[in-house]
């Protein structure tokens, strides 16, 4: 069996996460038991939710245990199988974690999903045609539920979720406005992703200023908002919401380091009769087939060409992850492992 490289959570962050929270270890790969499959990971997915898992205490998911391999989505190939459903060479997606190989029980439903790479590159199953894409789909379709002509806004617009949101909303005839950090990301959102407009929040010192910029590009107000970041961006958007606007709360990355992240004016929820709903896509597995079918078609047909930021090698994962938390990535952040 091949020697495995793994990154474990060594200690918990105090405030900002740092590279020293992680530790690279080498481990034997155990021989396969009956029903098990050995997967070689080609790509590791890095996602903001992982930061939440690094904290102790109550969140929507259990904390990542110290000394254990960091949780994470992976795409790879079966290299050895003692399960009749899987053959060496099969392309598969799973939650293999921050490591080069994983041993998976082929009998547990949902642990491993075989994917077709004829029209969709393997890596996209971790992004546009994977969890981030379905996340965008759920928030847009199930919470915001826009009509054609509605104005919808998404923060972290150039990221994996934001870019999928843009493609899905444009396909529904919406006016789609992004919010992102940096002129380059905004340019990418408009020129490559097809957003109607994008506002660089870094050009604004406070939510009032950002809100004015939003007004300029959302002349008919905001009917739906997909929230990835929280903080001043949410305050700015709330000021521009129309009556009965819907807000899907998927992430509040600005608060992951434990800093307080108050909302300045929650009374707008009443004044504008808003619906604000938090969700976690893994609790809505029933929508995955429909969502993946639409996303696969958008990507396979070339109408949605998601960008990826790819770090090389497992040892690069911690720095790539910290960069993701600071918004250094363009599109889906991956680590190439093989």
Residues that bind a copy of itself (CB under 8 A): 58-60, 230, 234, 243, 249-252, 255, 260-267, 269-280, 283
Q: How far apart are CA 10 and CA 58, in angstroms?
A: 19
Nearer residue to a copy of itself within complex by CB, 280 or 293: 280
Rounded to 10 degrees, what is the CA torsion of 71, 180, 285, 57?
A: 50
Nearer residue to a copy of itself within complex by CB, 132 or 318: 132
Nearer residue to a copy of itself within complex by CB, 48 or 96: 48
Q: What is the smallest separation between the CB atom of 80 and a copy of itself, expressed in angstroms?
A: 39
Nearer residue to a copy of itself within complex by CB, 48 or 97: 48
Q: For residue 80, what are the β-bridge partners? A: 38
Q: Which helix (H) or strand (E) element contains residue 310?
A: strand 308-312
Q: How far apart are CA 286 and CA 178, in angstroms?
A: 28
Of residues 158, 218, 155, 165, the one with CA closest to residue 189: 158
Q: What is the smallest separation between the CB atom of 61 and a copy of itself, expressed in angstroms?
A: 10
Q: What is the smallest separation between the CB atom of 142 and a copy of itself, expressed in angstroms?
A: 12
C-alpha gyration radius of the chain: 20
Nearer residue to a copy of itself within complex by CB, 3 or 267: 267
Q: What is the smallest separation between the CB atom of 53 and a copy of itself, expressed in angstroms?
A: 13
Q: What is the smallest separation between the CB atom of 63 and a copy of itself, expressed in angstroms?
A: 13
Distances (CA, A) of 165 to 48, 125, 128, 218, 306: 16, 16, 9, 17, 11
């Amino acid at each position: 069996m091949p020697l495995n490289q793994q990154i474990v959570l060594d200690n918990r962050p105090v405030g900002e996460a740092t590279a020293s929270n992680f530790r690279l270890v080498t481990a034997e790969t155990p021989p396969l038991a009956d029903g098990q499959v050995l997967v070689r990971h080609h790509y590791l997915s890095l996602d903001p939710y992982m930061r939440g898992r690094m904290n102790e205490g109550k969140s929507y998911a259990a904390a990542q245990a110290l000394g254990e391999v960091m949780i994470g989505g992976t795409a790879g190939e079966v290299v050895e199988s003692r399960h009749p459903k899987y053959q060496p060479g099969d392309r598969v997606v799973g939650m293999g974690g921050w490591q080069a190989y994983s041993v998976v029980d082929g009998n547990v439903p949902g642990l491993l999903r075989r994917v077709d790479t004829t029209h969709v590159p393997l890596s996209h199953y971790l992004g546009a045609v994977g969890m981030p894409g379905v996340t965008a789909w759920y928030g847009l379709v199930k919470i915001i539920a826009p009509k054609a002509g509605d104005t919808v806004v998404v923060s972290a617009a150039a990221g994996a979720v934001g870019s999928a949101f843009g493609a899905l909303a444009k396909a529904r005839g919406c006016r789609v406005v992004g919010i992102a950090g940096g002129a380059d990301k905004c340019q990418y959102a408009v020129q490559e992703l097809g957003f109607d407009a994008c506002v660089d929040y870094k050009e604004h010192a406070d939510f009032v200023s950002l809100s004015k910029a939003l007004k300029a590009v959302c002349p008919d107000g905001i009917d739906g908002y997909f929230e990835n970041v929280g903080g001043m961006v949410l305050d700015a958007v709330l000021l521009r919401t129309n009556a009965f606007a819907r807000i899907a709360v998927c992430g509040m990355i600005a608060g992951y380091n434990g800093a307080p992240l108050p909302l300045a004016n929650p009374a707008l929820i009443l004044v504008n009769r808003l619906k604000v709903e938090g969700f976690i896509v893994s609790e809505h597995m029933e929508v995955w087939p429909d969502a993946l079918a639409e996303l696969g078609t958008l990507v396979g047909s070339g109408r949605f060409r998601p960008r990826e930021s790819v770090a090389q090698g497992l040892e690069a994962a911690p720095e790539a992850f910290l960069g993701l938390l600071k918004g250094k990535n363009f599109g889906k952040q991956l680590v190439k492992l093989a």
